[in-house]
Structure 1
Amino acid sequence: MLRCLRLTTAGETHGPAVVAVLEGMPAGLPLEPDDVARELARRQQGHGRGGRMRIEKDVGEIFGGVRLGETIGSPIAIRIPNLDYRNWVEAMAVAAPEVEDEQVLRRAYLPRPGHADLVGILKYERKDVRDILERASARETAARVAAGAVAKRLLGEFGVRVESHVVRIGPVAVPPGQPLPDDLTAVADASPVRCIDDEASAAMVEAIDAARRAGDSLGGVFEVVARGAPVGLGSHVTWESRLGGRLGGALMSIHAMKGVEVGMGFEAARLRGSEVHDEIESDPGRRRSGGYRRRRNNAGGLEGGITTGGPVVARVAMKPLSSLRRPLDSVDTRTDEPAKAFLERSDVCSVPAAGVVGEAMMALVLADAWIEKFAGDSLSDMRRNVESYLARLRRDRDGGARTGQGTG
């Protein structure tokens, strides 16, 4: 998925902390703790979140790879403490317990349908479901958002913004065709469900409240948009270098995601090609797209696995969360007898927060493709490479326009 960057996360949901280690960033990138803290705070927002968000106040502690406000080229290590750990010290201890007490150790044997509980204990030969759920929990995404904040900082140095908004929660959807505001983040974050349509936002809040009263949960769809990426990120030459595949894999790796569309996505399957493909016209002023533009963006900013210079757009479908206050049928794995799944504290709906995680994953994929294309051990090296590339695009375009020929 990532070819030049390497992201490793560690930690459990009720352990001391979750940790992100990001390798491959150039030296000289301005980075402050607030850059990470701001994104972590956004991940905790959204109507429908559970009691955990009232406990945690996520702050990323940068303890490697940054000195005096700049990256130094070494791996960047970020620790996000779990404040709830104080309530789980015995249950999440590293050492073997001196006394076997099921209640103190919070062991669990009633797997939840839709979660990794059952398949995890079967795969890893565990008996206690907690050995699985502690890592399978979406708490791990805090580490991804911390790393994504670094990726956003790199892209921002070159005028690339990655933002998101919610387009559906349960049965409530935003009417299609709404233009995106220039500052999408500000408008989306002002909504309790990160939705840019006021009427739909209010209806989404009502749907979440109804699900909460019923002891149920809701999923939905969010859209991630990157604006400012130039033509030429990614490649068509090998299957694993195609940016659409890399982006799809990254977004699908987020907990509870069940589908990804790029651009028009599945809607394109029912239309004719003349209704789908983005017609091209000359526009010499568009430096980042090589002096051309598409009349529309049904392709979502990608053609042949390569960015076109238009906005990169992906929509991601999230299933309803699997921890329900009215548990579903399951089995007790100790006796194989029918039982109700156990109840673990959870959200009713976390689609708004998932959009922020989606931003992080898109930013990491685009930053990875950016480093792949423009390289450089330092930010200044990379900046020269970017300027050289854009200048070459302009020269090729100007030469082709004068001769009436393409550049081959």
Structure 2
Amino acid sequence: MRYITSGESHGKQLTTIIEGLPSQLPITAEDINASLRRRQGGHGRGKRMQIEKDTVDIVSGVRHGYTLGSPISLVIRNDDFKHWTDIMGEEPMEDPAKMRRVVTKPRPGHADLNGALKYGHRDMRNVLERSSARETAARVAAGAVAKILLKELGIEVTGYVKEIAGIEASDLPDLNAQERADKANHSPVMVLDATVEEQMTNAIDQAKKEGDSIGGVCEVFVEGMPAGVGSYVHYDRKLDSRLAGSVVSINAFKGVEFGIGFEAAKRNGSEVHDEIAWDETRGYYRTTNRLGGFEGGMTTGMPIIVRGVMKPIPTLMKRPLTSVDIETKEPFKATVERSDACAVPAASVVMEHVVAFELAKALTEQFSSDRFPQLKKAIDDYREEIRCF
């Protein structure tokens, strides 16, 4: 399985093409739309979320509610494009000198300058339109399809907020995936610990009032993955490595950890590793889960717990940072495009979906997967085999 996205923030549409999904998997547009609605939520979102009402059109690869095995194309229209047709249209301009909203002033913390240097763009709108977090809607659409596959296999993936602006939610280790999803979806900041909701919303409101931005930590909890998915043989097939790469590929994410993560550097080995046990019902299991469901690049069968660090959004409404105009080489205070004071709640949804896609990809690589019933049987048989091993 793999996917590719295309589209610009204020272009006509976002497009996702998914290749390698098994045939005979039940899927509807509403399954995907539910995920897209969640991405648009969360306290601290900006005005763009009031303009776009993201829904998906399935334009290929699905017939009468079931996948065909051929590539699936998903389209999300940009409602705001009608206000940008003369700026973002594909037809050549009769007089390029009349181009509106040309960007020659790169914003610190964005891809503007690096992208312009790489592709030779004098108008950095060509960069910022694609590097915008708007693209994550297309990635959530791909992940929503992956989540459908995983759910049919008994695997639940849930994302939520762990920390905002240094305000940390308490661990609730006894909750299962569904309980975590319910709590997160009923929280304005998508957090499990209701006691910190007000502190987090107040911090977001204060940042917005000051024209500043704040970041945080997102966590994804996965229940139901069988042991032994991934590889210890090849570095590029280690599943935790793939997950780490997918998380850091999300806009503004700067770090990843599994289980106790960086805390492991402060502890003795006896306080880090998970002891192994066995019983007839569960088979092999770990008595703790400090390593977050991974050993040697492979799943252990314990819940996967992965966290990602999101930096504050660099577009600052009242405290713009200093940069240099690429045409005049003169310093200036960075210009402002529409932005959020805090997008951590929405980012937890994005992270949930990119993790889901990597897990689905790993399963379809490791088990026979041309047809979904074939994949399900292969995984069910494997689960029974390792339980009795």
TM-score range, shorter chain: over 0.9
**C-alpha separation in 1, matches of 2:193 and 2:387:** 39
Aligned partner (choices 375, 384, 387) of residue 391 of structure 1: 384
C-alpha contact (below 8 Å) 1:92/1:105 kept by paired residues = no
Aligned to 2:34: 38
Q: Does 1:378 align with 2:371?
A: yes
Following superposition, the deviation at residue 260 of structure 1 comes to 0.3
Q: Does 1:343 align with 2:336?
A: yes
> Using a 3 Å threshold, how does the CA distance of structure 1 residues 169 and 14 change in structure 2: closer, same or farther?
same
Matches within 5 A, 1:178-193: 179-181=174-176, 182-193=178-189
Q: Which runs of 5+ in 1 are unaligned?
A: 397-408
> Using a 3 Å threshold, how does the CA distance of structure 1 residues 360 and 61 change in structure 2: closer, same or farther?
same
Q: Does 1:150 align with 2:145?
A: yes
Aligned to 1:131: 126
**C-alpha separation in 2, matches of 1:225 and 1:195:** 13
Matches within 5 A, 1:235-274: 235-274=231-270
Q: Deviations over 1:316-359 (max 9, x none)?
A: 00000011112111111110001111111111111011111111
> After the TM superposition, which of the residue ranges 93-102 and 129-138 deviates more from structure 2?
93-102
Aligned to 1:171: 166
Instruction: Report the residue type matching 2:186 in the other structure.
Output: A
Matches within 5 A, 1:218-367: 218-286=214-282, 291-326=283-318, 327-367=320-360
Q: Give the % identical residues.
A: 48
Following superposition, the deviation at residue 100 of structure 1 comes to 3.4
C-alpha contact (below 8 Å) 2:16/2:139 kept by paired residues = yes
C-alpha contact (below 8 Å) 1:108/1:342 kept by paired residues = no
Q: What secondary structure, in the 3-state scheme, does the structure 2 residue paired with 1:7 have? A: strand
Instruction: Report the residue type matching 1:198 in the other structure.
Output: A
Give the paired residue count: 387
Q: What secondary structure, in the 3-state scheme, does the structure 2 residue paired with 1:183 have? A: helix
Aligned to 2:102: 107
**C-alpha separation in 1, matches of 2:52 and 2:150:** 28
Instruction: Report the residue type matching 2:270 in the other structure.
Output: S
Instruction: Report the residue type matching 2:131 in the other structure.
Output: A
Q: What secondary structure, in the 3-state scheme, does the structure 1 residue paired with 2:85 have? A: coil
**C-alpha separation in 2, matches of 1:139 and 1:31:** 24
Q: Deviations over 1:65-101 (max 9, x none)?
A: 0000000000010000000111100000112212335
**C-alpha separation in 1, matches of 2:332 and 2:388:** 70
Q: Give the CA RMSD over aligned residues.
A: 1.2
Instruction: Report the residue type matching 1:297 in the other structure.
Output: N
> After the TM superposition, which of the residue ranges 387-396 and 58-67 deviates more from structure 2?
387-396
Aligned partner (choices 62, 66, 82) of residue 66 of structure 1: 62
Aligned to 1:75: 71
C-alpha contact (below 8 Å) 1:43/1:356 kept by paired residues = yes
Q: What secondary structure, in the 3-state scheme, does the structure 1 residue paired with 2:86 have? A: coil
Following superposition, the deviation at residue 177 of structure 1 comes to 5.7
Q: Deviations over 1:21-68 (max 9, x none)?
A: 000000000000111100000000000000000000000111010000
Following superposition, the deviation at residue 392 of structure 1 comes to 2.1
**C-alpha separation in 2, matches of 1:350 and 1:183:** 23
**C-alpha separation in 2, matches of 1:27 and 1:206:** 47
Q: Which runs of 5+ in 2 are unaligned?
A: none
Q: Deviations over 1:201-239 (max 9, x none)?
A: 110000000000000111100101110101111010010
> Using a 3 Å threshold, how does the CA distance of structure 1 residues 101 and 47 change in structure 2: closer, same or farther?
farther
**C-alpha separation in 2, matches of 1:384 and 1:331:** 59
Following superposition, the deviation at residue 391 of structure 1 comes to 2.9
Following superposition, the deviation at residue 179 of structure 1 comes to 4.0
Following superposition, the deviation at residue 362 of structure 1 comes to 0.7
Aligned to 2:45: 49
